[in-house]
């Protein structure tokens, strides 16, 4: 299995799928985050922020914005150890957010408020994986 971290989706088919209705009921987005050593802003601004610190600014903003779309941040934690499997390099952080549906996630991530905060996301992230999941009542 090859893994490619991205900051923004680049596959047009994936973007089209993101705009599709998606599964019924709430979705839980699992975010595997890899930070840059130093934040790098697209506008070239000088900063002493680490990638994690820049992403933290984004996270603070999104924790407020997500509520406007009936979503919530469920969990945020640092990755400390890989107990099973193999990968060249671990992600730095895992975050799980809950949305009422995929449409709410899409609406939030295309809103002016999100785009304003997302400059810190792009400055701080080396890449990430976003995995959409749904509850499985049968385990």
CATH number at residue 105: 3.30.70.100
Tokens describing residue 85: 């499997």
Does residue 45 sit within a domain? yes
| Residues 49-62: tens digit of each pLDDT | 999 999 999 999 99
> Of 27, 31, 30, which Cα lies nearest the Cα of 103?
27
Range of the domain at 32: 12-133
Q: Which helix (H) or strand (E) holds 60?
A: helix 51-65
Residue 4 counted as domain residue = no
Q: Is residue 1 part of a domain?
A: no
Residue 35 lies in a domain: yes
The model's pTM: 0.85
Domains held by the chain: number: 1
pLDDT range class, residue 1, cuts 50, 70, 90: very low
Q: How many CB atoms lie within 10 A of CB 126?
A: 16
Give the long-range contacts of residues 42-49, CB within 8 A, separation 24 or more: 42/119, 42/122, 42/123, 43/119, 47/123, 49/123, 49/124
Q: Does 7 map to a domain?
A: no
Summarised one tens digit per residue, pLDDT across range 72-111 is 999 999 999 999 988 888 999 999 999 999 999 999 999 9
- Tally of CB atoms within 10 A around 9: 13
Q: Would residue 20 count as lying in a domain?
A: yes
Is the residue at 138 inside a domain? no
pLDDT tens for each residue of 3-36: 555 555 666 666 566 666 776 889 999 999 999 9
């Amino acid at each position: 299995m090859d893994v490619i971290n991205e900051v923004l989706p680049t596959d047009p088919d994936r973007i089209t799928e993101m705009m599709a209705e998606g599964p019924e009921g709430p979705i839980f987005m699992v975010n595997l985050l890899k930070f840059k050593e130093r934040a790098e802003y697209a506008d070239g601004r000088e900063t002493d922020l680490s990638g994690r610190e820049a992403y933290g600014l984004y996270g603070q903003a999104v924790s407020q914005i997500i509520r406007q779309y009936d979503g919530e941040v469920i969990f945020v934690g640092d990755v400390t150890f890989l107990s099973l499997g193999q990968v060249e390099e671990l992600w730095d952080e895992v975050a799980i957010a809950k949305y009422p549906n995929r449409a709410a996630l899409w609406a939030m991530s295309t809103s002016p408020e999100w785009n304003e905060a997302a400059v810190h996301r792009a400055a701080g992230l080396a890449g990430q994986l976003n995995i959409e999941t749904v509850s499985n009542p049968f385990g």
